[in-house]
Amino acid sequence: MSTETMTNIPVHVSLIMDGNGRWAKERGKERVYGHFEGVGSVRACVEASVEYGVKYLSLYAFSEENWNRPQEEVDTLMGLMVKAMADEMDSLDKNGVRFVVLGNRARLADELNATIDSCMERTKDNRTLTLIIFLSYSGKWDILQAARRMAEDMMSCPERCQEIQEMGVDGFDRYLVTAGIPDPDLIVRTSGESRLSNYLLWQGAYSELLFVDTLWPDFRKDEFRKALESYAKRDRRYGKVK
**Which are the catalytic amino acids?**
18, 66
d(CA 122, CA 199): 27
149 binds, among Mg ion, ligand IPE, none (CB under 5 to 8 A by kind): none
Contacts of 31 (CB under 8 A, 6+ apart): 20, 21, 24, 25, 73
* Residue whose CB is less far from Mg ion, 18 or 142: 18
- Tell me which of 14, 20, 130, 214 binds ligand IPE, using CB under 6 A: 20
> Do 210 and 188 meet the contact criterion of CB atoms below 8 Å apart?
yes
Shortest CB 4 distance to ligand IPE, Å: 32
Q: 70-74 long-range contacts, Cβ below 8 Å, gap at least 24?
A: 73/31, 73/32
**Is 183 near Mg ion (CB under 5 A)?**
no
User: By C-beta, is 10 or 19 nearer to ligand IPE?
Assistant: 19
**Cβ contact 194:219 at 8 Å:** no
Query: Counting contacts by CB under 6 A, is residue 188 touching ligand IPE?
Result: no
Sign of CA dihedral 195, 197, 198, 200: negative
Q: What does 60 bind: ligand IPE, Mg ion, none (CB cut-off 5 to 8 Å by kind)?
A: ligand IPE
Which residues in this chain contact ligand IPE in the complex, by CB under 6 A?
A: 16-22, 60-63, 66, 77, 191, 193, 195, 197, 216
